[in-house]
Structure 1
Amino acid sequence: MAKTQLNVRVDEGTARAARERALARGMSVNRYIEELVRQDTGEAGRTFMEAAADFMQQYESVFAEEFAETRGTPPGEGRH
């Protein structure tokens, strides 16, 4: 994919935060900004939702049991 240069002006605090966040994630500021835009436009949102659905499927029984106890339903008689 061809790259296009985009110049953006931000205040020093925002620039510092971008540098710090990128460094903490082990990536360039450029890549960090690209990822933020992708997330905002939904590309990463799909991946997140798939991971969240997988997590919920894996731990469904744990959540069902926990919420059954808080609702007063005996353990094991939660939603199946």
Structure 2
Amino acid sequence: MAKTQLNVRVDETTAAAARERATQRGISVNRYIEELVQQDAGEAGRTFVEAAADFMKQYESVFAEEFGGTARHGGPGEGGRPGRR
């Protein structure tokens, strides 16, 4: 994957902490920051999926009533529509 340069300004305390943590892990500061962003993006994705699952669970009966049938569990590819068999 091609790399893009990103310039970021942080205070000296934050910069020192980033350098120290990267050194402790045996990686460059660039790689350390890249991993932090990837980790954060992954957390956001998981948080969204968990929130969506909670929402669907909470309102499952409302969807079942609105769209007919009983509340069922299933995933994409099961019965042609997500959440139905």
- What whole-Å deviation, never above 9, does each CA across 1:50-72 have from its counterpart, x for those lacking one? xxxxxxxxxxxxxxxxxxxxxxx
- Summarize the alignment of residues 66-77 of structure 1 with structure 2, pairs less than 5 Å apart: none
**TM-score (norm: length of structure 2):** 0.50
Give 5+ residue unaligned stretches, structure 1: 47-80
Q: Which residue of 2 aligns with 1:32?
A: 32
Shift of 1:41: 0.5
Distance 2:2 2:24 in 1: 27
CA deviation after TM superposition for structure 1 residue 28, in Å: 0.2
Q: In structure 1, how many angstroms separate the alpha carbons of the residues matched to 2:30 and 2:5?
A: 10
What's the % identity of the aligned pairs? 84
Larger gyration radius, structure 1 or structure 2: 2
Residue 3 of structure 1, CA deviation = 0.5
Deviations 1:25-67 (A, max 9, x none): 0000000000000000007x88xxxxxxxxxxxxxxxxxxxxx
Structure 2 Cα separation of the partners of residues 8 and 15 of structure 1: 10
More helix by share: 1
The structure 1 segments of at least 4 consecutive aligned residues displaced by more than 4 Å after TM superposition are none
Cα-to-partner distance string for 1:6-36 (whole Å, 9 max, x where unaligned) = 0000000000000000000000000000000
- The number of residue pairs the alignment matches comes to 45
**What is the match of residue 17 of structure 1?**
17
* Higher RCO (CA 8 Å, separation ≥ 6 residues): 1
